[in-house]
Amino acid sequence: MPKHAARRVMTATAAAVGALALGFTATPAHSTTSLDYVALGDSYSAGSGVLPVDTSNLLCLRSTANYPHVIASRTGARLKDVTCGAAQTKHFSQAQYPGVAPQTNALGADTDLVTLTIGGNDNNTFINAVTACGTAGVLSGGKGSPCKDRHGTSFDDQIDANTYPALKDALRSVRAKAPNARVAALGYPWIVPATADPACFAKLPIASGDVPYLRGIQAHLNAVVERAAKETGVTYVDFSAASEGHDACKAAGTRWIEPLLFGHSLVPVHPNALGERRMAEHAMSVLGLG
């Protein structure tokens, strides 16, 4: 019997004996204190830009206040954090940098829980879309939809043609290396609001017509992550409702994502400390942890 299974049997037995001794009927409970937890993923998992920085690997710009650390601290799980800023799906199976092993090398038969965010860096989707739309927005003075007019469906086409199959392969590799684990793929919290906010242009210079365009690209990416998760037996953690009203246009203390300009992080358009905590809390709620 695998050690994680044996631990669960002993925990459940002890709980049942204790309950019977007190005259109660034992009720199953999900214990997280013995979970072997591995965190995979990109900068949204790594918490890039959130202090304090994990000095054990500066290349990955990983924070010790990222959502995996929050989950581990609140559940008592034993965390192995191999998240890495700028990671793509391919870095689950190949080294991202010299000395940085493929992320799935951290997994094993004794792994109980895996969380991840991945896919946003494939095709450089996030950085290319934000950069292209930000540049077009500045040049247009915030009017019209210059980014959509120029790029059309190109970002969405790349997501379907490249990101989706890569996500399925990556999630299959996780399942194969951690066959006994519960695996959760987190979606990406909203970066922009549903409609343009003129007061936000100085912080996020996206033209009014390109705000829904950029949001649509993110919604498409999240839908692809959800589809790949369902097709590989992975739990999808949906942030479309939870992160509504916490985009980069909101005030500090409300926003989960820092804006492109005049934000409070060295890594813009990424979750801040509040965002990482809220991502942890929502993931825990979906997974029934803590």
pLDDT in tens, 2-24: 444 444 433 433 333 333 333 33
Q: Which amino acid is at 177?
A: K
The answer on 151 and 246 residing in a single domain is yes
The answer on 25 and 63 residing in a single domain is no
Q: Kindly indicate the confidence band of residue 32, based on its pLDDT and cuts at 50, 70 and 90.
A: very low
Q: What is the pLDDT of residue 187?
A: 98
The answer on 280 and 236 residing in a single domain is yes
On the question of pLDDT at 277 being above 50, the answer is yes
On the question of pLDDT at 290 being above 80, the answer is no
The answer on 148 and 27 residing in a single domain is no
Q: What is the pLDDT of residue 11?
A: 40
The answer on 70 and 5 residing in a single domain is no
Q: What is the pLDDT of residue 284?
A: 98
The CATH number of residue 70's host domain is 3.40.50.1110
Could you confirm whether 220 is annotated as catalytic?
A: no
For the chain, the maximum distance between any two Cα atoms, rounded to a whole number of angstroms, is 74
The answer on 232 and 199 residing in a single domain is yes
Order across the sheet with 182-186: list the strands: 78-81, 36-39, 113-116, 182-186, 235-237
Partner residues linked to 86 by β-bridges: none
Average pLDDT on 32-40 reads: 85
Percent of the chain with pLDDT over 70: 89
The answer on 92 and 226 residing in a single domain is yes
The answer on 167 and 26 residing in a single domain is no
Q: What is the pLDDT of residue 14?
A: 38
On the question of pLDDT at 27 being above 50, the answer is no
> Higher confidence at residue 21 or residue 223?
223
Number of domains forming the structure of the chain: 2
Token couple for 9: 């049997």
Are 160 and 221 in contact, with CB atoms under 8 Å apart? no
On the question of pLDDT at 167 being above 90, the answer is yes
Q: What is the pLDDT of residue 33?
A: 53
Q: What is the pLDDT of residue 8?
A: 42
35 vs 47, 135, 181, 288, CA distance in Å?
A: 22, 45, 10, 13
Domain that holds residue 282: 32-287
Give, as one character, the DSSP assignment of residue 24: P
Are 159 and 223 in contact, with CB atoms under 8 Å apart? no
User: Rounded to two decimals, what is the model's pTM?
Assistant: 0.88
The answer on 18 and 105 residing in a single domain is no
The answer on 156 and 236 residing in a single domain is yes
The answer on 91 and 21 residing in a single domain is no
The catalytic residue among 91, 220, 270, 282 is 270
Could you confirm whether 154 is annotated as catalytic?
A: no
Q: What is the pLDDT of residue 7?
A: 44
The overall average pLDDT reported for the chain is 90
Angle (CA) 129-130-131 rounded to 5° is: 95
On the question of pLDDT at 81 being above 90, the answer is yes
The answer on 204 and 146 residing in a single domain is yes
On the question of pLDDT at 77 being above 60, the answer is yes
Give, as one character, the DSSP assignment of residue 122: G
Q: Which of 29-33, 112-116, 157-161, 255-259 has the least mean pLDDT?
A: 29-33
Measured from the Cβ of residue 33, the count of other Cβ atoms closer than 10 Å reads 10
Q: What is the pLDDT of residue 28?
A: 32
- Give the whole-angstrom CA distance, residue 58 versus residue 74: 25
Average pLDDT on 200-229 reads: 98
CA-nearest of 255, 249, 169 to 203 is 249
> Higher confidence at residue 16 or residue 274?
274
The catalytic residue among 43, 45, 48, 243 is 43
